[in-house]
Amino acid sequence: MKAVWLVSLGGVIGSLTRWILSLIIPHGGNGTLAANLLAVALAIFFLVLMERRGITELRYFLLPGFCGGLSTFSAVTYEAVAPDEAGFSYLLINVVASLIVAYLSLKIARKVVKARI
């Protein structure tokens, strides 16, 4: 039951963060793209942190909770297929940019987060 509460609380905070980003970056899918890329970068950082430091207590809160609430594939899909929205190229940009951010975030996180000895 503890995991349910951690995922729920993280999801609420992640969703509110995504909403705040949409206010700061209100133009079409740019806010969604920013939220998704931020979620990818943070998820990678959190995974490396947990792997190297053995911190697993916050896993439910941080990964499926916060990062899951922050990212939004449903909005990306809508913006890719709905009339008068960004279209298929927007979906492609999201996927490619997410992969690039994941790759770069992994390299940076592995340099920044040192293993616990």
- What whole-number distance in Å separates Cα of residue 95 and Cα of residue 79? 13
Q: Residue 42: what pLDDT?
A: 95
Q: Residue 8: what pLDDT?
A: 95
Does residue 28 come out as left (phi exceeding 0), alpha (psi in the -120 to 50 range) or beta?
Answer: left
- Angle of helix 73-81 relative to helix 88-112, nearest 10 degrees, comes to 150
pTM reported for the whole predicted model: 0.85
Residue range 28-67, pLDDT digits in tens: 788 888 999 999 999 999 999 998 888 777 899 999 999 9
